Chain A
Amino acid sequence: MIFKKFNIENKKARDLIPQAITILALLSVIIYFATNAQINMGNRGISFGFGFLNQEASFDITFSMIEYDGSHSYGRAFLVGLLNTILVSAIGIFFATIMGVVVGISRLSDNYLIAKVAEWYVEIFRNIPLILQIFFWYFAALRALPLPENGISFYDISFLTIKGWYVPKFIWTNFNIFLLSVIAAFIAIYFINSYATKQREQFGKQIPTTIISLATLILIPLITFLFLGVSLSFEYPVLKQLSPTVFTYAGGVSIIPELIALALALSMYTATFIAENVRAGILGVGKGQKEAAASIGLNKNQILKLVVMPQALRIIIPPTTNQYLNLTKNSSLAAAIAYPDIVLVFAGTALMQTGRAIEIISITMLTYLTLSISISIFMNWYNKKMAIKEK
């Protein structure tokens, strides 16, 4: 009885005890781990710190978007890995979105065959582990490509071989001006669109924004080519003989097979999930909405563009952002086929060389965490913006 009374009267105390126990347990685990780590590092003669990031890395990386060689620092190697991760994720997201949308809409097609093919695409590629798909493309499919001397040629400007895909290199003069003009075009399009919306809402006037936007996007950069000294030339890959039997391509840009396999597998795998999101989103728009739109005289395209899509997007975007995040995290499987992403370069090679497990794993995990959290913050912001504003 006394115990019960004590409980009721001291609700605060009752709440405090489990919390205190949890915090104490957590703290003691952390302290235990930290002391052990300190002793272990002391035994190996290393001390905790991030100074090693400035030391010379002295290992090479097969594929880098910025200037890098063995004489650069570990910090620079980290940056190379990070950029490679971002590159493959961006390519993967781009193609996964396109394929996902196409497959998702195909699944709802009134053409039975197309719907079935799309359904089987989803069922097959979703149920095979991603790592197996990467292995398949890298070790089986891309290894079947021909050697450089008889590579598959696309009009003699681009070659697909077992050593990678050689594409022409863009050589720009005054690239900055061109870039500025593209940005200017986008700003102009934004203003044109907001003006058109205003005109439509206030006076009911329809302005063909799509055509005008497209024209702006082409015309403004074109002007820089004609008058502001921007020019573009291509450097084509050319077959070169290194020794009697060894050939390679000189010039151009080489897209390494690791990148192709990884991007292919990532986008095909993630596309299945995006397709399901798209399908769910379109199905999620009530039938009444479509009927109401049809009854006020909108045609099929207008219904899709003005009524179904804006509502479907609200359902599609949150889970799809999640898929983008998953794709970015899955790109760490690059380590399995030696694509130099952040895990392979930093948590692999750099860790082996320095032995600084705690620092390096922490930095790698923090990088991914930062990426995840910033994307989820963006997603929350976007959700709020898109949410139905009820009066």
Chain B
Amino acid sequence: MNLIAKPSKDNIKTYVPIGLLLVSLSFLDVFVNAFFNFNLMGFLPSQLSYFLPLILGYIGFYLIRIEFSGVRSLDILNKNINSNNFNALLTLFTIFIIIKSIPPMLDWFILEANFVGNSKDDCTGDGACWVFIKVWFNRFMYGLYPDAEQWRINTAFLILFAVVGVSFFVSEKLKKYFILFLVFVFPFLGIKLISGGSFGLEYVESAAWGGLSLTFIISAFAILFCFPIGVILALGRRSSLPAIKYISIGFIELWRGVPLITVLFMSAVMFPMFLPDGTFIDKLIRVLIAITLFEAAYMAEVVRGGLQALPKGQYEAAKSLGMGYWRMNALIILPQALKLVIPGIANTLLALVKDTPLIFVVGLMELAGMIGLAKTNPKWLGMAMEGYVFAGLVFWIICYAMSRYSQNLEKKLSTER
């Protein structure tokens, strides 16, 4: 009778060891099956041996589900993964799927993959051919930029990182000048360095730019310009002057209502029609303008959210001090409003970075575009999986780092309030 009693504190000594044994047996069966392709329960009828891990695990979890057992670790375990029958089943399925999916992933990424060599013929295993990434790495980073001149891109980014790095350690007063340099001087210095044409540097046309560095260049410039435009649009939308208000609304809603890809098409085929015959604006600049205006509209809506959230008293207090419109906004309203919407701003910037691969529609090739080019190279056919997994990983690291940083920033600023 004791054997079929409900698991409780009284029979904890017999139930828990049996339960844990059954659960570990079930995981062991799946593990051995997945990693060594050997069926421990092969001697049983096939239907039964297929479901056995599930049945064993289920019974095991039932046996160890003892409320208020007094054993701390058991209680935590039960609370988190084994609170009822349904949860026990979910836990089992999740663990089975994870165990099952590790070996093929491991095989593809590492064990069966090829790392050495310099042509497709060196890839003999069934796994990934990382040789492809290794050989094309330079192109993925710099696009078609001439090899001999790539130090210029490196230098530009090194200066950027150095200035940003140093600015973390200098005093508040000096920091201001660092930021001014980064925003107003560096972008143009950097672009001059990369494009060349003067100071004895060879001119490199923008069509040759590409790879991950182009992603960074476009993101950086678009972020730089879309932010002030977005703020002005947001202020315009809340203006008391009807003409300015409705023009802002129209502008914002127009860009927000259409997909970026049509805006890029517009910049590529429709915009040249609007310029005097013979005028030519560089493709990269047209794309930059398109992305900037597009993201500025989204930025404007985010900033507007912050402006609306500020209590009216802030406006009245500023006015009662005799501040004019611009002084009030610059010194009182915007610093508070922008702080409120940091997550929204971060999300918009994140969307901007994720949108940069779309420039393929006008023929510019950043990382994803270069992979598209490389995988259609006759010598490297069939490398799409490696290429896109690599690009996905790179973008994921960038975007995940950005979102984490914004979350930290949000926390840091909210404690100050």
Contact = CB atoms under 8 A, between A and B. Distances in A.
A131 B357 contact: yes
B94 A368 contact: no
B220 interface: no
A114 B91 CA distance: 7
Contacts of B403: 127
A251 B403 CA distance: 49
A43 B371 CA distance: 39
- Name the residue in B90, B270, B276 with the highest tally of chain A Cβ atoms < 10 Å from its Cβ: B270
Interface of A, secondary structure class, is helix
The number of chain B residues touching the other chain, given as a range, is: 35 or more
Contacts of A368: 257-259, 262
A136 B389 contact: yes
Contact of A140 (B87, B259, B354, B384): B384
Contacts of A127: 350, 354, 395-396, 399-400, 403
Interface string B233-277: 000000011111001000001101111011001100110111111
Contacts, number: 156
Interface string B341-372: 00000000010001111101100000010011
Contacts of A333: 259, 261, 358
Contacts of A144: 385
Contacts of A36: 273-277
A335 B384 contact: no
A239 B185 CA distance: 66
Given A124-B396, A361-B262, A369-B258, A132 B368 contact: yes
A3 B378 CA distance: 74
Interface string A109-148: 1111110010000011011111111011001110110000
A18 B241 contact: yes
A315 interface: no
Contacts of A347: 262, 265
Contacts of B350: 127
B391 interface: yes
Interface string B82-115: 0100010011001100000000000000000000
B175 interface: no
A18 B11 CA distance: 84
Interface of B: 79-81, 83, 87, 90-91, 94-95, 240-244, 247, 253-254, 256-259, 261-262, 265-266, 269-270, 272-277, 350, 354-358, 360-361, 368, 371-372, 375, 384-385, 388-389, 391-392, 395-396, 399-400, 403
The 4 closest A-B pairs by CB, nearest first: A127-B399, A19-B243, A372-B257, A139-B384
9 contacts: A15-B241, A110-B83, A124-B396, A129-B395, A130-B354, A329-B258, A343-B265, A361-B262, A372-B258
